[in-house]
Structure 1
Amino acid sequence: MLEVDRQQVMAYRVATQGLLRTASDPAALRVFDLGVQDSTRDTALLALVARSRASASLVGDSRFTLAWTHRGAPHFHRSAELPGLAAALLPLDDADARARMAWRRRDVEQAGMPVTEAIRVTAGAIREVATAPMTKGAVSGAISPRLPEGLVRWCRPCGVTHVHEQLMRLSALPAGVGLVAGASPATLMPLDGVPGVPASPDLAGATRIVRHYLALHGPATAADTAGFVGTTGKVVERSLWPDDLVEVRVDGRRAFLPAEDADRLTSPPEPAAVRLLPPWDPLLQARDRAVLVPDRAHHKEVWKILGNPGALLAGGEIAGTWRAKVSGHRLALTVSPLWPLSPAVRAAVSEEAERVAAARGLGLGSVTWK
């Protein structure tokens, strides 16, 4: 059994997730083994900026495709790997499906069918309808009348009855449908390589997802992994736990890591990088937040219920938060450090701010320190 401290874990994650900026090819970054979450705030683009030496965009790059995957959130994946996820992300059983849908007993009763069947029925309807790029609203409007009454809900904000939001998101990829990157409003499109709704879940593929999480965010527990996947720790332990893991004690806490990564954990490179991480950056997706930010009083600054800021990485620590505001063709950044930072770190932040602005096609207006 290995014994390491939190600083070693942070140094390992910084290096493993490509934040030392040594990769020249974005497709080679290990974060794409799991996928990189995106939003309308260019989060995936800025996650790439933090890791890539060359300026690059995921939009328009055929090597990457956007889809609703983990927890129903939009993620960029390597295009060649996305069809395999259609079966790997199918819930294993009804308990798993209820957890991923966050459905209670009343929701299941209202559906009138097992949740796994509800996903398959909805996926079949999406596949029939989304044969060309269509907005999310158009797809929802087209499939809702085709679905059993128990799978649609009255939506007060929309003022109509339509398919349950999370049900649509979890059913899209099994239907062979992804998202048009950069489109607003959200636009669905058919994918190549998914011949039909998978007949059954791909257990080996689902286990591989767990293994990727442990490699990128480890050492970690089954509960940590389940939080990312969107299921329960029992499901992960019972059905998805990989065999080739080593047990690690992190400051006395029991966790696990793929055996092939053990040497990198015990002797990681020095995490000297200063990076401006976007909201939902892969590094911030770990579920053991006390490892990322040990002072719990700072958690409410880094992770908010609505409107997460970006995070400042310095010396292997989350050292602050940042927000950006666009005015004309200029980008202004406001940085809020969690503790006093050296002049060298502040200068490096300004350099990173230039990269962030350039990636968004803007000039840098100012960097303000709160």
Structure 2
Amino acid sequence: MAGALVVDRKRWLGHRWHRHGLSSSNAHLDDLLLLGIQDGRPDGARRSLRARSAPEAIGPGGPLVVMWSVRGAPHVHRLDRLDFVSAANTPLSTDIGGAEQVFAVDAVAAALRAVVTGPITKSEASTRVTERVPAQLVTWCERCQARHVPDGLFRTAGCRAQILVGSAERRGTLLSPAPAHPREHPRQARATLLDTFFRVNGPTTRALFAEWLGVEPVDVDTVWKAVDLVPVTVDGLRYSLPAALVDDLLEAAPPTGTVLVPPHDPYLRHTDRVLLVPDQTHRKQVWRPVSAPGAVLDAGEVVGIWRYRRGENLVTVTEFGTPTAGLRGRVEGAAQVLAEVSDLPAVDVAFADYRADKA
């Protein structure tokens, strides 16, 4: 890649740190909420927001709401941007699934709008939707031992229909219609989403963006080729960045501060894992396929993982590097944010040595 802009990894970390709202400023929080902050039990999105010193007012009345959006996962977005979010995460006829996929999503979305007129459990909504859609959209589910619309299609249609997601009793999922909100008529929503992704994350690749969005790389070819991109290398790895954002990247301040973020936090999800966590053994600890831990971030780096035991009100931190009193003090302070999110006066913090775990 002759002529590529070479960027120091610390500069890249600083750019992402500030654009992800992990510095003292929330100037770019609207961009992050446009992409979405993934939610998950317990209090996933609230923990991500609190780590950014941002308001946590999430609920069906807004200003922040939860909806199935990126990859069909529940994400927090601003209520007044739901039209854009829905358009940006709806399949296009030019995608690999073609017109058949668009028809399926539209049909299930129409059924959801008819069924979800007030709070209703996902199970009940699924039963009623199944009765309304064409038979070819219904399949047999071994887990449920019943016929219903496949969950992936159901969630994508839920985004199309702007169905909000919440928690019911017994840890079930409660659906409700989005309340009245400012209307938008977004054009080229996927292209705007790509622009926002670049602003928040800096250099990336077409494959990384497509994987995050949950589509095939070929599905983003058109919007990708429409951007005036320059080649960038960071720590020997190759990426692209819009020419208009080069100065922002080069002028980024070094990252400072220590925070604990939940497993699906955008800082962990929107990136090349090899670049963010160069050590392979550490990556395996951070991104586990099941029961992934939270991550300890210090000055932009992932320096450990954490787990919270609610019954013991205990945060256990496993450090990757050599423990220092200064870092442990900062981590103990950052851990108290978890107490605030859980409405507790404080949490206890215990430290485990990663090297001891490997021995």
Same structural fold, with TM-score higher than 0.5 when normalized by the shorter chain: yes
The equivalent of 2:136 in structure 1 is 150
1:239 Cα deviation after fit: 3.9
- Confirm or deny that 1:17 pairs with 2:20: yes
Q: In structure 2, what residue type is equivalent to 1:65? A: V
1:133-172 to structure 2, matched below 5 A, reads 133-172=119-158
1:125-170 superposed Cα distances (whole Å, 9 cap, x missing partner):
1111111121111110101122222222222232221110000000
CA contact (8 A) 1:218 1:257 kept: yes
CA contact (8 A) 1:36 1:76 kept: yes
1:264 Cα deviation after fit: 2.7
Alpha-carbon distance in 2 for matches of 1:309, 1:145: 40
The equivalent of 1:359 in structure 2 is 341
SS at match of 2:84: helix
The equivalent of 1:333 in structure 2 is 315
* Aligned match for 2:196, one of 185, 189, 212: 212
- Confirm or deny that 1:189 pairs with 2:176: yes
Task: Mark the CA change 1:250 to 1:94 in structure 2 (over 3 Å): closer, same or farther.
Answer: same
The equivalent of 2:66 in structure 1 is 66
Q: In structure 1, what residue type is equivalent to 2:344? A: L
CA contact (8 A) 1:66 1:179 kept: yes
* Aligned match for 1:347, one of 310, 317, 329: 329
| Structure 1 length-normalised TM | 0.86
The equivalent of 2:9 in structure 1 is 6
- Structure 1: runs of 5 or more not aligned: 99-112
CA contact (8 A) 1:11 1:316 kept: yes
The equivalent of 2:357 in structure 1 is none
1:192 Cα deviation after fit: 4.1
SS at match of 1:313: strand
The equivalent of 1:101 in structure 2 is none
CA contact (8 A) 2:232 2:241 kept: yes
Task: Mark the CA change 1:160 to 1:226 in structure 2 (over 3 Å): closer, same or farther.
Answer: same
Q: In structure 1, what residue type is equivalent to 2:349? A: V
* Aligned match for 2:165, one of 161, 179, 185: 179
The equivalent of 2:87 in structure 1 is 87
Q: In structure 2, what residue type is equivalent to 1:267? A: E
CA contact (8 A) 2:21 2:52 kept: yes
CA contact (8 A) 1:94 1:116 kept: no
Task: Mark the CA change 1:194 to 1:161 in structure 2 (over 3 Å): closer, same or farther.
Answer: farther
1:194-229 superposed Cα distances (whole Å, 9 cap, x missing partner):
999x9xx96611111112112222200111100101
CA contact (8 A) 2:121 2:168 kept: no
| Structure 2 length-normalised TM | 0.89
1:55 Cα deviation after fit: 6.6
What is the percentage of aligned positions where both structures have the same residue?
Answer: 32
CA contact (8 A) 1:248 1:255 kept: yes
1:259-298 to structure 2, matched below 5 A, reads 259-298=243-282
- Structure 2: runs of 5 or more not aligned: 353-359
Q: In structure 1, what residue type is equivalent to 2:31? A: R
Alpha-carbon distance in 1 for matches of 2:195, 2:63: 23
Alpha-carbon distance in 1 for matches of 2:7, 2:235: 7
Alpha-carbon distance in 2 for matches of 1:363, 1:340: 30
CA contact (8 A) 2:22 2:52 kept: yes
Alpha-carbon distance in 2 for matches of 1:185, 1:5: 46
SS at match of 1:300: helix
SS at match of 2:313: strand
Alpha-carbon distance in 1 for matches of 2:188, 2:142: 40
1:293 Cα deviation after fit: 0.5
Alpha-carbon distance in 2 for matches of 1:170, 1:55: 27
Alpha-carbon distance in 2 for matches of 1:141, 1:97: 25
Task: Mark the CA change 1:263 to 1:168 in structure 2 (over 3 Å): closer, same or farther.
Answer: same
1:29-50 superposed Cα distances (whole Å, 9 cap, x missing partner):
5321311110122111111111
Q: In structure 1, what residue type is equivalent to 2:43? A: D
SS at match of 2:305: strand
SS at match of 1:362: coil
* Equivalent residue pairs, number: 348
SS at match of 1:361: coil
Alpha-carbon distance in 2 for matches of 1:313, 1:93: 40
* Aligned match for 2:104, one of 99, 118, 143: 118
Aligned CA RMSD, in angstroms, stands at 2.6
1:238-278 superposed Cα distances (whole Å, 9 cap, x missing partner):
34555244432223433222444322311222212111011
